[in-house]
Amino acid sequence: MPTPHRLLEIVAIAAFALLDVGLMARVAVAATTTASWCLVAVAVLTAYLVADFASGFVHWMFDRYFSVRTAIVGENFVKPFREHHVDPKGICRHDFVETNGNNCIGTVPILAAVHLLPLPPDDWLWLCVAAGTAAMMIFVFCTNQFHAWAHATRLPWYIARLQGAWLILNKRHHDIHHTAPFDRYYCITTGWLNPLLHRVRFFPLTERLIFQLTGVRAGRDDAAYAGLDPALYAAALRRAEVEEAEEALGREIPVGDGKAPQ
Ligand SMILES: [Zn+2]
Ligand SMILES: [Zn+2]
């Protein structure tokens, strides 16, 4: 018997498909000139960047605030991120609903709101907002799949090409997020914005501002979630890194006991 949250995810995926295809059809009907199609192209490119930023912002929020015990969001939104840090390859075992359901729950109200905008369809502002929103919601929908591919050991050649050209989240780039001190490179659609956000210290400065305004300090409780003390948790992460390297190499890596050879 599916849980209420899984049922909500299934309904949200169906609603997302209907609303997004409907919005794209309205854009196609409204864009009648070359100029309007150029506007649509600019809106789609901008949407890719905004989706990358949104993926980073939501990921950062659930990494650094709340806990798995927080009401409503804890079990269904915070826990997947905690699980992902402890078991990064777990995301590759998720089915279609688990991979995409949560994202659709977030995108459906936005798509519905844009459908209801009180603007005439021949208005250029409506065209920009509608094309940008329809594209952005598709990119948000793709985000968890791009993220899962960044953790996969084997990929179809065309996905590997997209990663190699950095048109979608790149594995080596995303590995930085899973490496100590685990507090950077949150964007997981393409990761294009990560170097810039890191350079301008966007997330640390936002955390400082939130602390000054509310007194709430940012932090992660992955170790607590995994039921491990921080030292054991760090050892588990190192073991996971070795296992990943072994899987890629196809052979066991001999791990010493740390003592110098006699
Ligand atoms: Zn994270
Ligand atoms: Zn990851």
171 within a domain of the structure (yes/no): yes
Q: Which ligand is nearest to the CA of 88?
A: 2
pLDDT digits (tens, 9 = 90+) for 142-201: 998 999 999 998 899 999 999 999 999 999 999 999 887 778 999 999 999 999 999 999
256 within a domain of the structure (yes/no): no
> Which residue in 178, 149, 148, 179 sits closest to 164, CA to CA?
149
Q: For the packed helices 124-149 and 4-30, what is the interaxial angle rounded to 10 degrees?
A: 140
Q: How far is the CA of 40 from the centre of ligand 2 (A)?
A: 31
Q: Which ligand is nearest to the CA of 151?
A: 2
Q: How far is the CA of 178 from the centre of ligand 1 (A)?
A: 7
pLDDT digits (tens, 9 = 90+) for 124-159: 999 999 999 999 999 999 998 999 999 998 899 999
Q: Which ligand is nearest to the CA of 191?
A: 2
pLDDT digits (tens, 9 = 90+) for 217-239: 887 666 666 555 666 666 666 66
Q: How far is the CA of 29 from the centre of ligand 2 (A)?
A: 39
List CB contacts of 252: < 8 A, sequence separation 6 or more: 246
258 within a domain of the structure (yes/no): no
167 within a domain of the structure (yes/no): yes
Q: How far is the CA of 180 from the centre of ligand 1 (A)?
A: 11
| Residue with token string 């640390």 | 204
Q: How far is the CA of 68 from the centre of ligand 1 (A)?
A: 14
Q: How far is the CA of 168 from the centre of ligand 1 (A)?
A: 18
Q: How far is the CA of 126 from the centre of ligand 1 (A)?
A: 35
> pTM for the whole thing?
0.79
CB atoms within 10 A of CB 225: 19
* Counted domains in the chain: 1
**CB distance 15 to 108 below 8 Å:** yes
161 within a domain of the structure (yes/no): yes
State how far the Cα of 220 lies from the Cα of 66, in Å rounded to an integer.
9
Q: Which ligand is nearest to the CA of 146?
A: 2
12 within a domain of the structure (yes/no): yes
213 within a domain of the structure (yes/no): yes
Give the pLDDT band of residue 259 (cuts 50, 70, 90): very low
Range of the domain at 98: 4-248
259 within a domain of the structure (yes/no): no
pLDDT digits (tens, 9 = 90+) for 101-122: 888 998 999 999 999 998 887 7
